[in-house]
Amino acid sequence: MAIPTYAGKLERSWYYSYRVICALIFLFLIGPILIIIPLSFNVQPYFTFTPEMLSLDPAGYSLRWYEEFFASEEWMRSIKNSFFVAICSTIIATSLGTLAALGLSRPEMPYRALLMSILISPMIVPLIISAAGMFFFYSSINLAGTFLGLILAHTALGIPFVVITVTATLSGFDYSLTRAAAALGANPRTVFFKIMLPLVTPGVISGALFAFITSFDEVVVAIFVAGPEQRTIPLQMWGGIREQISPTILAVATLLVIISIMLLTFLELIRRRSERQRGLAPG
Amino acid sequence: MATSYSKVGEMTTNDGVPLKVSLQRSQRKLKIWAFLLVAPLLLFIIVSFIIPVVNMSLRGVENPQVHTIMPNVTKALARWEGVDLPDEATYAALVLDLQEGRKNKNIGKVASRLNYERSGMRRVISGSARKAVKLTEGPYKKQMIKIDKSWGDVAVWSLIKRESGQFTFSYLISAVDYRTNDQGNIEAKPENKQIYKALFGRTLIMSFTITAICILLAYPIAYLLATLPLAKSNLLMILVLLPFWTSLLVRTTTWIVLLQTQGVLNDVLVWMNIIDEAGRLQMIFNKTGTIVAMTHILLPFMILPLYSVMKTIPPTYMRAALSLGANPVVAFVRVYIPMTVSGIGAGSLLVFILSIGYYITPALVGGQSGLLISNMIAYHMQNSLNWGLAGALGFILLVIVMVFYSIFNKVIGIDKMKMG
Amino acid sequence: MKKLLKLSIIATAIAAVSLGSIAQAEETFTVVSWGGAYTKSQQRAYSEPYTAKTGTKFLHEDKSGTALAGIRSQVEANNVTWDLVDILEGDAMIACDEGLVEEINYDEILAAAPDGTPASADFLGGLNGCFIPQIYYATLFAFNDEMFPGEKPSTIADVFDLEKFPGKRALEKIPAGNLEWALMAWGVAPDKVYDLLDTEEGIALAFKKLDTIKDSVIWWEAGAQPPQLLSDKEVSIASGYNGRFFGAQVNEKQPFTIIWDGQVAEIDGWVVPKGKLTDEMKAYIKFATDTQRLADQSKYISYGPARKSSAAFVDKHADTGIDMKPHMPTSPANFTNPIIKNAEWWANNKDDMSERFNAWLSK
């Protein structure tokens, strides 16, 4: 929406103020996330910019909080736990979720709306209710305080994202393609692997990423369901923030921001590739 | 080969089955196939999620303590009228149950349960159980009243009778700030004990506020993204998606760092001489803190659906309106905005539903005035241990969310929702 | 497809490897405590020496704040994962009554004093059947010196006097302690506090006093917060545990002064969840609560040992060499006007008081 050359004074000023408003909202979105990055290098245990930092004096910066983080056995353990739980729940959520999405998007699927609502419910039910419910139920079947319990819980929370993204990819799917393939003599297996799968793969991968980040970032259910051996990064952070924000937390936060940038880039690459494949995007 | 006709005009397949039947059969087969694909996930969700949530809601009405630990009293009280003190047989049953409960070490559960309803019942039950062990012969009525004078109080007996059923409404009643008085009537709790109604109200009002702010902030951004050339908008989209993908705890932490009294924003304001050292603003650990942080966290959920709707609106519509001589503002309000209503609706309901159930952010930045109903449920889960009340509050919250969700489903349809 | 397959194989492999490294073989006790400096002092005084002696490993979990909830759900589910839980006396009484924790035969399980006095006669109190007392600690007020250049607050009444001593206050977000102090601020003697709280007027009076400072209060929930709030100057006076303030004074050289007036003295100790009183656990408890070990904890944190015979062994701070005796809440100079927390009163009235307190907070 370039400004037309014939625009009047009023339009011009509106055009620029609109741009300024947008810039401010973008600042609101992204500023807070970026500001903790320099603060995590503060040599002092404060959460504000010291005069040394503002004058870009190298003495005002240090890696001590990162050293503390990497030297801490608890934090290292929580990283391991987080990745383990997130990867396991992603695998389960993605495989079950993709299968279900394939079924859901068939034109002949009965009770689709009802089933969809049930499968999406972990996203809608307030987390505290899910967490409390899982705490009681998993305790009663001896799953509370175990890795399996936490993985199952996180899988349930990740499933809606897989179902939504994969069904969205399939929503434009033309089923006459599969019929055509079948008519040409392809058996159902070939149809599935040669026709369906390549088309849903981008949806599956982005669904998997959502499931991964859901588990990786999850804290409410973990508070209730995880035991001391399952302490994850968010749990460790939650304890830290509640008591006192040590600058180590800012270092962890910075690392987490970097991880999300990586995931986001990955997702963007996949999206572009699939758009090219479908011939939606130029180039 | 030869197509046969069983009846004139009805087509059949090679083996003579009518085509309609055959099609139906294959259709049913496909249906079963589709369902089989969904079945494993459905089973998984039901076991790992639906059962726990239903189970949690049921806690709000379950009442096993008196019923199972004091079975004799429960039976004896069934025929009690509730006017005068119960008869000697009931007191004998009481002594028996207390002795048994003391021996099995579970009488404390009754004590905890009844103490929620009436302060001091813990002492009455546990203390009496300790002393009742020594009683060997009747009449028990006098001896029990001597052990604790509460046993001579009809109100205490009414309470036990009321809570001796397997199920109770007292948690649900309590969750809306009512109680059952000594006469057995339901009445409002005294002013100084009312809390949940106000908290539900606050939760709804704050969710509305956050949703409204999100609409205001998301609209210009989504419009910009939808109207810019693809290359530019993709770049700016990253600024929306990065917060979306960043850990909730990171985003909450960052607001604490920014807004606290000794934080970055106050420092800047002091440095710019807008406020002095003593006049540092309290921007966090209150309602403001919760609203600001939650708006930041939920804003992408508003921008994304708005954007996907706006992208489908051809720019020619606006141009047409303008070329027909409409004032740009009028054209925008009367032509453009109505076309984006479905996006506003989707985003609003999503943000609203998510914010009603928020727990982590209010707990960290809400201080006292910024707490929501979820925080109270967590409090009853972990601190007061009144799990029945937590179940009742959770059930009410769940019903509220479900109502808004079904509106969402009716108006927009959950399968229309897109992510990222 | 191949890529996806490869990806999931790699993921499974990573998962399997990390699971392998997580699995443990040795005998481990999961000990639940309050976290921070307190857990550290227990580690240094009890569990580390015990590991050195026997090889038993310890896993520390900071969940004492919600200990009763944890024990109750674990016992109800028949899935007890905690071996030893640090808990307050009042909660221990409730857990004991509900049959959630093991009963302790004190003279059999706890070591006698060096002079042969049986354990049941050597402990200062709190032996209610299940509870194993460890320390006497105090919840009290402390202030940041730098916030009061002139006259310094020294009594509970001063804490409630916002005009004479300006600045915000930090109080714990529970009724216990705050109600007692509010009455003391009216001038009620510490030993009359609970009698008054048994009456409706007394409770109303307490809330009326709290009303006067409500707008200036920041409510804390974790024991590590008050020293942090004081050092950040977010508040000028904070209530908190005396050991945490002491830690900030010595370890971080914070300019804090403790107001010993109106300290709320309370016993903290251990309970053993149902089914966990094994022979190994008995051996550890006997080791960790003997006269010397209880006194050892006071080398790391300023809490008073719960045994009479330990008093003579209270020594210097392990890191700084400061004499710990004057920093004990139970030392005569500090124990002049204490409120002895009535655990039984709170066990009976906590539900009711919390309801009122929360309603009051939300107004």
- For residue C263, CA distances in Å to A223, B152, C147 come to 33, 39, 22
Q: Between A and C, how many CB-CB pairs are < 8 A?
A: 73
* Number of domains chain A contains: 1
In DSSP notation, C199-215 reads SHHHHHHHHHHHHHHGG
- Within an 8 Å CB–CB cutoff, is residue B108 touching chain C? yes
CA distance C293 to B177: 50
Tokens of A14: 């509106």
Q: Is the peptide bond before A51 cis (omega within 30 degrees of 0)?
A: no
Q: What is the pLDDT of residue C236?
A: 92
Tokens of C116: 């042969």
Q: Smallest Cα–Cα separation from B200: which of B408, B407, B395, B405?
A: B395
Class of domain C26-136+267-327: alpha beta
Tell me the CATH number at A97: 1.10.3720.10
CA distance A117 to C150: 66
pLDDT tens-digit profile of A68-98? 899 988 899 999 999 999 999 999 999 999 9
Contact B55 A281 (CB under 8 A): no
Q: For residue B3, name the pLDDT band (cuts at 50, 70, 90).
A: very low
Question: Which of B130, B380, B385 has the most C C-beta neighbours within 10 Å, making it the best mutation to test the interface with C?
Answer: B385
Q: A193: which chain C residues are within 8 Å (Cβ-Cβ)?
A: 1
CA distance B121 to B106: 15
Tokens of B29: 């087969």
In DSSP notation, B164-194 reads TSSB-SHHHHHHTTEEE-TTS-EEEPPGGG-
- Cβ atoms of A154 and A89 closer than 8 Å: yes
Closest-CA residue of chain A to B35 = A103
**B369 Cα distance to chain centroid:** 19
**A88 Cα distance to chain centroid:** 15
CA distance B54 to A129: 10
Closest-CA residue of chain A to B401 = A125
CA distance C251 to C243: 11
Has residue A43 been placed in a domain? no
Domains and CATH numbers, chain B: 12-58 (no CATH), 64-168 (no CATH), 196-416 (1.10.3720.10)
- Cβ atoms of B343 and B306 closer than 8 Å: yes
- Cβ atoms of C223 and C240 closer than 8 Å: yes
Contact C15 A80 (CB under 8 A): no
3-state SS track over C88-123: EHHHHHHHHHCCCECCCCHHHHCCCCCCCCCHHHHE
Q: C233: which chain B residues are within 8 Å (Cβ-Cβ)?
A: 262
Q: Smallest Cα–Cα separation from A166: which of A212, A123, A205, A124?
A: A205
CA distance A101 to A97: 6
- From the list B108, B122, B193, the residue facing C348 with the nearest CB is B122
Question: Which of B280, B384, B393 has the most C C-beta neighbours within 10 Å, making it the best mutation to test the interface with C?
Answer: B384
- Phi/psi for B238 (5° steps) reads -60, -35
- Phi/psi for A187 (5° steps) reads -80, 165
User: In chain C, what are the domain boundaries?
Assistant: 26-136+267-327, 138-264+341-362
User: Which contiguous run of DSSP H or E holds residue B130?
Assistant: helix B121-132
One-letter amino acid of C320: T
Q: What is the pLDDT of residue B59?
A: 92
Q: Reduced to 3 states, what is the DSSP secondary structure of residue A236? A: helix
- For domain C138-264+341-362, say whether CATH 3.40.190.10 is its number: yes
pLDDT tens-digit profile of B318-355? 778 778 877 878 888 888 888 888 889 888 988 998 99
- Within an 8 Å CB–CB cutoff, is residue C301 touching chain B? no
Check residues A112 and B395 and name the one with the higher pLDDT.
B395
Q: What is the pLDDT of residue A187?
A: 80
Tokens of C39: 């857990």
Question: A267: Cβ–Cβ under 8 A, 6 or more apart, which residues?
Answer: A206, A209, B420
CA distance A215 to B217: 29
CA distance C307 to B259: 47
Question: A178: Cβ–Cβ under 8 A, 6 or more apart, which residues?
Answer: A191, A195, A196
Contact B198 C362 (CB under 8 A): yes
Contact A244 C228 (CB under 8 A): yes
Question: Which of B30, B48, B280 has the most A C-beta neighbours within 10 Å, making it the best mutation to test the interface with A?
Answer: B48
Has residue A55 been placed in a domain? no
Question: C268: Cβ–Cβ under 8 A, 6 or more apart, which residues?
Answer: C86, C87, C88, C89, C133, C134, C135, C137, C303
Cα dihedral: A45, A50, A56, A59 (round 10): -50
| Residue given tokens 């790699």 in the structure block | C10
CA distance A191 to A179: 9
**How many CA within 13 A on the CB side of residue B366?**
23
Q: What is the pLDDT of residue C11?
A: 55
Contact C4 A205 (CB under 8 A): yes
CA distance A126 to A132: 10
Q: Smallest Cα–Cα separation from B370: which of B292, B257, B261?
A: B292
pLDDT of B4 strictly over 50? no
In DSSP notation, A129-196 reads HHHHHHHHHHHHTT-TTSHHHHHHHHHHHHHHHHHHHHHHHHHT--THHHHHHHHTT--HHHIIIIII
pLDDT of B257 strictly over 50? yes
Q: For residue B416, name the pLDDT band (cuts at 50, 70, 90).
A: low
Domain that holds residue A182: 79-278
Closest-CA residue of chain B to C343 = B123
CA distance B67 to B87: 20
pLDDT of A28 strictly over 60? yes
Q: What is the pLDDT of residue C20?
A: 45
Quote the mean pLDDT of chain A. 85
CA distance A152 to B38: 18
CA distance B164 to B167: 8
- Within an 8 Å CB–CB cutoff, is residue C358 touching chain A? no
Give the ipTM of the model, two decimals please. 0.87
pLDDT of B6 strictly over 50? no
Q: Could you check whether C26-136+267-327 and C138-264+341-362 share the same CATH topology?
A: yes
Q: C22: which chain A residues are within 8 Å (Cβ-Cβ)?
A: 80-81, 84, 147, 229
Question: Which of C22, C86, C172 has the most A C-beta neighbours within 10 Å, making it the best mutation to test the interface with A?
Answer: C22
User: In DSSP terms, which residues pair with C32 in a beta bridge?
Assistant: C61, C85
- From the list A139, A197, A239, the residue facing C79 with the nearest CB is A139
Longest Cα–Cα distance of chain B, Å, equals 101
Mean pLDDT confidence for A262-269: 86
C-alpha distance from C124 to closest chain A C-alpha (Å)? 31
User: Which contiguous run of DSSP H or E holds residue B137?
Assistant: none
- Cβ atoms of A220 and A131 closer than 8 Å: yes
Q: What is the pLDDT of residue A144?
A: 83
Has residue A222 been placed in a domain? yes
Q: How many CB atoms lie within 10 A of CB B408?
A: 20
CA distance A86 to B116: 40
Q: Reduced to 3 states, what is the DSSP secondary structure of residue A5? A: coil
- Within an 8 Å CB–CB cutoff, is residue C59 touching chain A? yes
**C332 Cα distance to chain centroid:** 21
Q: Smallest Cα–Cα separation from A135: which of B386, C77, B66?
A: C77
Long-range own/partner contacts, residues C254-258 (CB < 8 A, 24 or more apart) = C254/C144, C254/C227, C254/C230, C255/C144, C255/C145, C255/C146, C256/C142, C256/C143, C256/C144, C256/C145, C256/C227, C256/C230, C257/C142, C257/C143, C257/C145, C257/C152, C258/C140, C258/C141, C258/C142
- Cβ atoms of A100 and B371 closer than 8 Å: no
pLDDT tens-digit profile, chain C (363 residues): 445 455 555 555 555 545 444 444 457 899 999 887 788 889 999 999 999 999 899 988 888 888 888 898 888 877 788 999 999 998 898 899 888 999 999 999 999 988 888 888 888 877 888 999 999 999 999 999 999 988 999 999 999 999 999 989 999 999 999 999 999 999 999 999 999 999 999 999 999 999 999 988 989 888 888 988 898 888 899 999 998 899 888 888 889 999 999 999 999 999 999 999 999 999 999 999 999 999 999 888 889 898 888 888 888 888 888 888 888 888 888 888 899 999 889 988 888 899 899 999 887
- Within an 8 Å CB–CB cutoff, is residue A45 touching chain C? no
pLDDT of B250 strictly over 50? yes
Q: Smallest Cα–Cα separation from B351: which of B397, B291, B394, B393?
A: B291
